[in-house]
Amino acid sequence: MEFKAKEIAEILSGTVEGDPEVTVSTFARIENGKPGAVCFFANPKYEHYVYECNASIILVNNSFEPSQPVRATMVRVENAYSAVAQLLDYVTAKKRSYKRHRGMRSRYFFSTKFGKKVYVGDFAYVGRRTRVGDYTKIYENVYVGDDVTIGHNCILYPGVRIYPGMKIGNNVIIHANAVIGSDGFGFAPQDDGTYKKIEHNGIVIIEDDVEIGANTTIDKSQIESTIIRKGVKIDNLCQIAHNVEVGENTVMAAQTGIAGSSKIGKHCVIGGQVGIAGHLTVADNTSFSAQSGLISNIKTPGQAYMGTPAFALRDFLRSYAVFRQQGKK
């Protein structure tokens, strides 16, 4: 779906600063802005991206005063964060269709493409234009939405839910009742104290050789993709929020939660009940002991962390010896 800057301004009750005829067809985060994309700028710490990115259109607050020339066309609005939520709402409403189908023992359509020797169990649903690779097993009561791609030799155990448009690689195992592609936890605060839901139009990409535990949830992004890289192993009852990227061959134990837009490096080891705050970066080969809580970036690879807030394991153990002594007094 394509929009001109002047159309976006009309939808959002904004004003155009630049070329009103410039056209966009996709959304992007401001740090990944590219021609043909619309981004938004609301957080002051991302201001340098306004001058660096190649997006065609950037939504900015009316109060924003650029300190350098801006290449993109700006659409000025009262609140850029709320405005992108409104624009996502508009796009979603245009895309969404409310079609109902009668249930059957299993259901799929002429436009669904299956590879060789695919198994589809009773009461499974596979949506329109979905592609399923060779030797994949879709067990009973699985839901696979429209326009999903599933690779070869995958296993989807009973009760798995894959929302429309998601992309699953080869040799992926998804255990019972996992949910891939649910909306992220995104709400824009309003002047009256209420919260407006931000529509999520992105997807989840799961690369090859990934295993996902039972009852784990991986949220789709607002724009662009939540990405689980090749070889990642995720235990049961984990929560991966929108826009997160988990690096290759990282493993995480049960009840881990990763908040939105954090980037986890390669070959990390994450213990049970670890919590990682949003918008953080974790270096490669980092390990976390169980119940650690991370609130700041980790830039040095190969370190171990423990505690809440998490800090270097060696320092934590020294500190713990002091804690114990204090407790005996």
- Residues annotated as part of the active site: 242
Report the alpha-carbon distance of residue 134 to residue 151 in Å, rounded: 7
3-state secondary structure of 53: coil
3-state secondary structure of 86: helix
CB of 299 closer than 8 Å to CB of 284: no
CB of 240 closer than 8 Å to CB of 226: yes
Please report where in the chains the tokens 């190969």 appear, as a residue: 302
CB of 289 closer than 8 Å to CB of 305: yes
DSSP per residue, 118-136: -EE-TT-EE-TT-EE-TT-
Which residue from 17, 5, 4 is spatially nearest to 76, judged by alpha carbons? 17
